[in-house]
Each structure stands twice: as C-alpha cells, then as structure tokens.
Homo-oligomer: A and B are copies of this chain.
Amino acid sequence: MKRRSTPTKEAVISVLNASNKAMSQDAIEHKIEIEIDRATIYRVLNQFCEDGIVHKIIADDGKQYFAICKKCDDQKLPDNHFHFRCSSCQTIECLPALVHFSVPESYKVERFNCILIGKCKDCS
C-alpha cells in the first residue's frame, strides 16, 4: 500500500516529535489542535510502526504508548532499549540503556518489551 501524506499524519508526527516522551493515543489526541478521530489516530500510529518511524511500548498499565524512533537501529531488534515509567508523573520515556539478556538453549528472541518502573529524575 502506497502511503499518502495527510494533515492527520503530519499532526501526529509533529506532536510526537515535539515530545521527548512516549505518548498514548489519548494524549496525542489532546495535544493536537485539529479534531481527529480516535480510530484514525490508531491507524496512523500503527502505520508509522510498520514503517519503522515510531515504536510501540506496552506499559505495565496494559496501555499502548508510542514514541518516535530517534536513534533506533534498523537491525533485527530495532527497539532494543529499556523504557522507564514514572510512578509519580506517569510519563514514559526511552532510556539510553540497551537491554542485555540471556535465554536458555534453543529459545529465539525476536523482540522485547522491557519497562522499568520507578521515580524519574523530576519526581525522585
């Protein structure tokens, strides 16, 4: 499917770019000036994920958060860093720390979703 450039996509990308945190659909919608439907935002975000522009994080609240891929390597494990969720201000950010792990024999790791929960620098 060929991609088309639309006001919606530009608005969503713009908001994500302006933020140094991962954002939920809800947060993105509130931050955007123009009115965009919930379903559309999800569709656009998932498209960005497919295209490797954005990555999705499932937080420990079970919700989806989205963040711009700033320095994600396009390797086998593109999003190979920890995420941090502040239990005070609830924000989620990408940490520079890479995830290192070891798995038992014959397990194959394709991707991961790793979140540390605690107090961020502003809240501790």
Residues of A whose CB lies within 8 Å of any CB of B are 58-64, 82, 84, 87, 95-97, 99-121, 124
Give chain B residues whose Cβ lies under 8 Å from the Cβ of A113. Answer: 60, 114-115, 117
* Cβ–Cβ contact B82 & A107, under 8 A: no
Copies in the complex: 2
Asked if B112 contacts A115 (CB within 8 A), the reply is: yes
Q: Which of B102, B103, B110, B120 contacts A87 (CB 8 A)?
A: B110
Q: A117-B109, A121-B106 are in contact. Are A60 and B58 (CB under 8 A)?
A: yes
Shortest A107–chain B CB gap in Å is 6
Give the distance to chain B from A63, nearest Cβ to Cβ, in Å. 7
B111 contacts A104, CB within 8 Å? Answer: no
